[in-house]
A and B are shown apart, each in its own frame.
Chain A
Amino acid sequence: MRADDEGVLLSYRAVSAELAPRHLDAPILEAARARSRLRRRLRRTAPLFGLAAVGLVLGLSLTGESERRPLTVTNYGVVEGLTRGYLLEASPVQIDAPESSGSGLRR
């Protein structure tokens, strides 16, 4: 920058002293405060929301687990034993079954 450019700049700054009107300040500063309040509130409630979310997930998973339990704890050996007795009792009926059925249950 040349020295006379600096002179122009200084002249401009010397005469350009207009201040922003005060009535503009309130809404801007209020918007800044409102944002900060929101942020603080979120920061305070975030752990509670986190805990609630973890509780919800745990609750849902436990509910799902308990609904599946009758299927998963089935003792197939016991069921097979009961079934086998039933089939043995039913064997005379199946003797007349067609050859093609070939179930092997007749033995």
Chain B
Amino acid sequence: MLGYRGGDDQAFAQLFARHRSRLYRFVRRMAPVAADTEEIVQDTWIAVIQGRHRYLARARFVTYLFAIAHRRTQDRWRRRGRRSETTLPAHDPLPAPACDDPAEAAVLSAMEQALSSALRGLPAEQREAFLLRAEGDLGVAEIAAVMGVSRETTKSRLRYAYQHLRRSLEEWRQ
């Protein structure tokens, strides 16, 4: 990001290539409706581009990026007149993971559906904490900073999210 701030186009292209799909999956699972996903993703990247002079290297770029996405998603929930604490409506099913073996692909696809369904059933703040960990690879302190809550609250949200997802996966395996 510092390279891009200095005017290096290639630095931005690298950042974008590294984070584009992670950000997309995060927003897709956090947006009020699937149709909002692309707009939120574009808004987030445009905010990065427009705000590059304000970027301070106090945190990792990925924290900065997901913090913007978090705010944009919250704005979208507000604009739709709903609170993000509600559970998500059912989205279009995600594409099955790429796999050469059809049997394995089927298993992965079923597991993906089970996990997606379990994630949709989570309260938004627990889902977001988990996704920031899983997609952004953020630590507890970074998740707390992005969500604007304490570390203890973040740990608690993560704990509940893991419990719920673990239970769902166990049920699915049985």
Contacts and interface: CB of A to CB of B under 8 A. Distances in A.
Do A and B originate from a single complex? yes
Interface residues of A, number: 30
Interface in B91-117: 94-95, 97-98, 108-109, 111-112, 115
Interface of B is mostly: helix
Contacts of B95: 18
A11 interface: yes
A31 B134 contact: no
B50 interface: yes
Interface of B: 4, 7, 9, 12-13, 16, 20-21, 23-25, 28, 38, 41-42, 45-46, 49-50, 52, 94-95, 97-98, 108-109, 111-112, 115, 130, 133-135, 158, 162, 165-166, 169
14 contacts: A4-B162, A5-B162, A8-B169, A11-B111, A12-B115, A12-B165, A14-B97, A16-B115, A18-B21, A20-B23, A21-B38, A24-B41, A25-B16, A36-B7
Interface of A: 2, 4-5, 7-9, 11-21, 24-25, 27-29, 31-33, 35-36, 39-40, 43
